[in-house]
A = this chain, B = another copy of it.
């Protein structure tokens, strides 16, 4: 294992190299998005904004709403609909996180106690539902049926992807293709939708809509694969959750699929015991990381992420708007560089 750079230094290096142009580009829009978010978590029922704000204010990057603003800008959109759609996308994401933490029994989220640990599973489920309802209300206000179709479709596909993940959890027979289908659903579908609605509200041709969607889908897959690598990679503070969460929850992710495929029979027995039977002893996470490294599984996962990243960059070819294309290209580097 290499020696990790001190956190602040690493963060500074990463952020100078990648996400800054996007942040700068969408800063005025994101101010309005944040104002909309704050106004739309309001409710006479005090627990609703308490829970929603606990998560929303906990320092997520807000990458998805930034992508909506950027792809709208990419297509020369000049209305106000992008702001509400971006806020809708963030609400959908937040709802997903609230529900995921219940599904996974997670204790932490973004370095803080998960909402369910403070207010209970029930309230987390219900506030997620509230945010979904608010998201659809905002989409209706924007008035684009096509944007509504895209985001409603994403909502269903995300849930399907998560159910698929439950089905493949604890099953070492999961193939790389199975796992990539999970990732396209649970993570990449929302990235794709967030990017696709930009050209849609700008009333651009279908080819540009498809290209923006491709960009988002590929970026989303890359993002998840890097996350999977990081979950075994030791960048705990950066992720805001403990290393080894996926391992403890019996999640079969790409690094594990690769190490299992390449592993000897005694290694496979180890993975089956830990992830299928859920019998995890002290030192097992360290052993898992050793096996992943022995077969280059982390490197292979990151190599896959880079391939999806290259596809995301390629999808931007049809767009002539250089500053936005530059910012979106840099985001790909930011996402794939997180693991280095």
B-facing residues in A135-154 (Cβ within 8 Å): 136-137, 139-141, 143, 145, 148-149, 152-154
Chain B residues within 8 Å of A154, by CB: 133
- Which among A120, A139, A140, A167 has the highest number of chain B CB atoms within 10 Å? A140
Q: Which of A14-22, A39-47, A211-219, A268-276 is near enough to bind chain B?
A: A39-47
A132 touches B155 (CB 8 A): yes
Is A156 close to B, CB under 8 A? yes
Complex alpha-carbon distance, A158 and B131, angstroms: 11
B130 touches A156 (CB 8 A): yes
A103 touches B121 (CB 8 A): yes
Is A288 close to B, CB under 8 A? no
Is A314 close to B, CB under 8 A? no
B163 touches A127 (CB 8 A): yes
Complex alpha-carbon distance, A149 and B156, angstroms: 19
Copies in the complex: 2
B137 touches A156 (CB 8 A): yes
Chain B residues within 8 Å of A84, by CB: none
Chain B residues within 8 Å of A133, by CB: 152-159
| Nearest chain B CB to A3 CB, angstrom units | 38
B47 touches A167 (CB 8 A): yes
Decide: A166 near B99, CB < 8 A? Known: A130-B156, A140-B152, A159-B127.
Answer: no
Decide: A163 near B121, CB < 8 A? Known: A129-B99, A143-B145, A155-B136.
Answer: no
Select one of B137, B143, B149 contacting A137, CB under 8 A: B149
Chain B residues within 8 Å of A121, by CB: 102-103, 121
Is A225 close to B, CB under 8 A? no
Complex alpha-carbon distance, A104 and B125, angstroms: 11
A137 touches B125 (CB 8 A): no
B130 touches A140 (CB 8 A): no
| Nearest chain B CB to A112 CB, angstrom units | 20
| Nearest chain B CB to A157 CB, angstrom units | 7
Chain B residues within 8 Å of A102, by CB: 102, 121-122, 125
A46 nearest CB neighbor, chain B only? B167
Chain B residues within 8 Å of A162, by CB: 126, 129
Complex alpha-carbon distance, A136 and B158, angstroms: 14
Complex alpha-carbon distance, A122 and B134, angstroms: 23
Complex alpha-carbon distance, A195 and B159, angstroms: 28
B-contact bits for A153-188, CB 8 A (1 contact / 0 none): 111111110111011000000000000000000000
A129 touches B158 (CB 8 A): yes
Is A48 close to B, CB under 8 A? yes
B140 touches A148 (CB 8 A): yes
Complex alpha-carbon distance, A44 and B159, angstroms: 12
7 extra interface residue pairs, beta carbon distance < 8 Å, beyond A45-B160, A47-B163, A133-B157:
A43-B160, A43-B163, A44-B160, A99-B126, A125-B125, A126-B159, A129-B155
List A residues at the B interface (Cβ < 8 Å). Answer: 43-48, 95, 99, 102-104, 120-123, 125-127, 129-130, 132-134, 136-137, 139-141, 143, 145, 148-149, 152-160, 162-164, 166-167
Q: List 13 A-B contacts (CB under 8 A).
A: A45-B160, A45-B163, A48-B160, A95-B129, A99-B125, A102-B121, A126-B162, A133-B157, A136-B136, A136-B155, A137-B149, A140-B145, A140-B148
